[in-house]
Amino acid sequence: MDAAAAVRWIRRPALLLAACHPAPAAAVTAFAAGLAAAAGRGKCAVLLTTAAVAAGQLSIGWSNDCIDSARDAAAGRADKPLARGALAPGTVGKAAAAALAATVPLSLACGTRAGAAHLTGVAAGWAYNLRLKRTAASWLPYAVAFGALPAFATATVPPWWVTTAAGLLGCGAHFANVLPDIQADRAAGVLGLPQRLGRRPSAAVAAAATSAATAVLVLGPGQPVPPAEAAALAVAVATALLAPVAPGRIPFLATIAVAGLDVVLLLARGPAAAAAV
């Protein structure tokens, strides 16, 4: 092996990491691990849950970049290793396939029902990459994948309000994630629902979905609302009303902040979700 080949071999793990959409993959994995821990599952169960979700997220991220490599190259996406030719599509495709293959046994090791829930979410992510991201149903895989995550992480059938809130959070994440790239996506022919609606309506949907998730989490249990949760709900409602007409990146940042509140509330609801078998 010559020096140049050796350098490429050493750099390959870092390039593969950059191609897997590391930020959202890490966020979803950490969220699942937090839910599992909050539900009181054992250390081994938390580690298995984390490994399964990480493998699933890697498979989705790598398949996304592999499928979109030509479009990303045409758009000059220097942040994408495939688009700038630093990785071969075959390398990323094999990595996606290997991660998907690992996801199946890791998921089922957490229990048949729980594993089926997670594999449904992973299948939804692949369906988004392969087709649905370019259709008006682009929101659906996010709703399904996020909605299924509490059932997998807690290995239970969660209360309706946990599943509903997680699905709404997924919808909000989809619309918020697309906001900065709507014009570029339209130019590239990627016409999911946010791209069809446009920036301002999509900002409204993102804020409304995450705020609705907050309302479901706060009011769904049917118990007296603590002051901190009442304040969180007030912030969410204000965001839903004001974010769509705010300038610049404020709608995106405000929606992300409310999504963060939702994650905190979901984690706080872990024991309740686990108790609802």
- Taking only the tens place, the pLDDT of each residue in 162-187 is 999 999 999 999 998 888 888 888 88
In a shared domain, residues 131 and 184: no
Residues 234 and 175 in one domain: yes
pTM of the model: 0.89
Q: What pLDDT shows up at residue 262?
A: 87
- 96 and 169 inside one domain: no
Residue 24 to residues 8, 58, 64, 68, Cα–Cα distance (Å) = 26, 10, 13, 17
Q: 247 phi and psi, to 5 degrees?
A: -85, 165
> Residue 215 is part of a domain; what is its CATH number?
1.20.120
What's the confidence (pLDDT) of residue 277? 42
The alpha carbons of the chain give a radius of gyration, in whole angstroms, of: 19
pLDDT in tens, 8-39: 556 788 899 998 899 899 999 999 999 999 88
In a domain, 142, yes or no: no
Domain holding 106, by residue range, is 1-135
User: Number of folded domains in the chain?
Assistant: 2
- 125 and 55 inside one domain: yes
Q: Give a yes or no: residue 183 inside a domain.
A: yes
Q: What is the pLDDT of residues 93-104, one digit of tens each?
A: 999 999 999 999
The verdict on 111 and 181 lying in the same domain is: no
In a domain, 151, yes or no: no
Report whether 103 contacts 122 (CB < 8 A). Answer: yes
What is the per-residue pLDDT for 195? 95
Is residue 115 packed enough to be buried (19+ CB in 10 Å), middle (13-18) or exposed (0-12)? buried
Is residue 237 a part of any domain in this protein? Answer: yes
- Same structural domain for residues 106 and 174? no
Do the domain assignments include residue 81?
Answer: yes
Q: Assess if residue 35 is contained within a domain.
A: yes
Q: What is the pLDDT of residues 133-171, one digit of tens each?
A: 999 999 999 999 999 999 999 999 999 999 999 999 999
The answer on 89 and 15 residing in a single domain is yes
Clarify whether residues 76 and 188 are in a common domain: no
- Residue-wise pLDDT tens digits, 52-63: 999 999 999 999
User: What was the pLDDT predicted at 8?
Assistant: 55
119 and 223 part of one domain: no
Whether residue 94 lies inside any domain: the answer is yes
The answer to whether residue 145 is domain-embedded is no
Please compute the mean of the pLDDT values over residues 210-222 and round it to a whole number. Answer: 92
Q: Domain check: are 3 and 124 in the same one?
A: yes
Same domain, yes or no: 116 and 5: yes
Q: Clarify whether residues 228 and 183 are in a common domain.
A: yes
